[in-house]
Amino acid sequence: MGELMVLPSDEGFSWANENYNSIQRSVDVWSFVLSLQVRVLLDNAKWTYLGGFSEDKQKNRRRRTASWLRERVLQLGPTFIKLGQVSSTRSDLLPREFVDELAKLQDRVPAFSPKKAKDFIERELGAPIDLLFKEFEDQPIAAASLGQVHRAVLQNGEKVIVKVQRPGLKKLFDIDLQNLKLIAEYFQRSETLGGPTRDWMGIYEESAKILYEEIDYINEGKNADRFRRDFRNVNWVRVPRVYWDYTATNVLTLEYLPGIKINQLDMINTLGYSRSRISSRAIEAYLIQILKNGFFHADPHPGNLAIDSMRKIQKRLSRVS
């Protein structure tokens, strides 16, 4: 099916082990939060700058803090990677230096091993990989904060992609979100981190809701089915079909629709596609979703929107409201 880029591995990360120690995990999380608070305090304290304070010096120090933040988020794993990715769109909450660094998390999420993926699929679907699929590619084509995607071929020859959740994710969420609730309460009282001027508890509650929704692949599959029905008469939008016989709460199998990501502008230009036409079609698609269907795609990043060889917009579901 073509050569793939080798993704970084999650081996060596403490969160890659499914047997989480809740006490050690809590220590790691709070150590990160308190270290971040100290760094932010120092970044904002003018008296800590040798030779006197200047905006350029502060920006440079913030860049170093932002780089540290990204690496620590990566070390803390799926919960924090996902929240970091979401935060990378919130320039209203975070300094620009933080937003720019956290945006890099979109491309740096480590994959878990093919053996772990196959074992997990077999447990979820109740059958050996060789019986489920005629072909199954060990190397994932993409890895995200909450799972990864493998290409495969069904026994009848149909090409599919298999989205596999990171094993042990629910348990990790339970531990992390208990700590994050306490952290949100702490942030709400902290002048350093915005205190009462920001609704940290509201942010926590919405984040927790989103995280638990996103690990329910049955719900995601139902959303995809509804989305596909909504656009069945729109010939310039394609939504992948769900293969329910190969889908469970933590495994989602979809029709394979190769395409060009909407941010691959050089490729779009090389193929002679009209960027203005693509933009107008995307806007029209959203107007249909919001004004006609009352059901819309709420996560339109480049991993979820693509253009196929017939110049149709593809929508890959991950979050729908």
pTM over 0.95, yes/no? no
- Indicate the residue type of 134: K
Contact between residue 248 and residue 162 where contact means Cβ atoms under 8 Å apart: no
Contact between residue 51 and residue 84 where contact means Cβ atoms under 8 Å apart: no
Q: For 104-155, how does the pLDDT look when each residue is reduced to its tens digit (9 = 90+)? A: 887 667 889 999 999 999 999 999 999 999 999 999 998 888 899 999 999 9
Quick one: which H or E segment has residue 120?
helix 114-125
Half-sphere exposure of 261 (CA within 13 A, CB side): 8
Domain ranges in the chain are 14-110+178-214, 114-165+216-315
| Residues assigned a catalytic role | 299
Distance CA 101, CA 98 (A): 5
Q: For 192-213, how does the pLDDT look when each residue is reduced to its tens digit (9 = 90+)? A: 666 677 788 998 998 899 899 9
Distance CA 148, CA 42 (A): 38
Q: For 242-262, how does the pLDDT look when each residue is reduced to its tens digit (9 = 90+)? A: 999 999 999 999 999 988 888
The CATH code of domain 114-165+216-315 reads 1.10.510.10
Smallest CA-to-CA distance from 241 within 150, 132, 317 is with 317
The two three-digit tokens of residue 188, written as one number: 């709400």
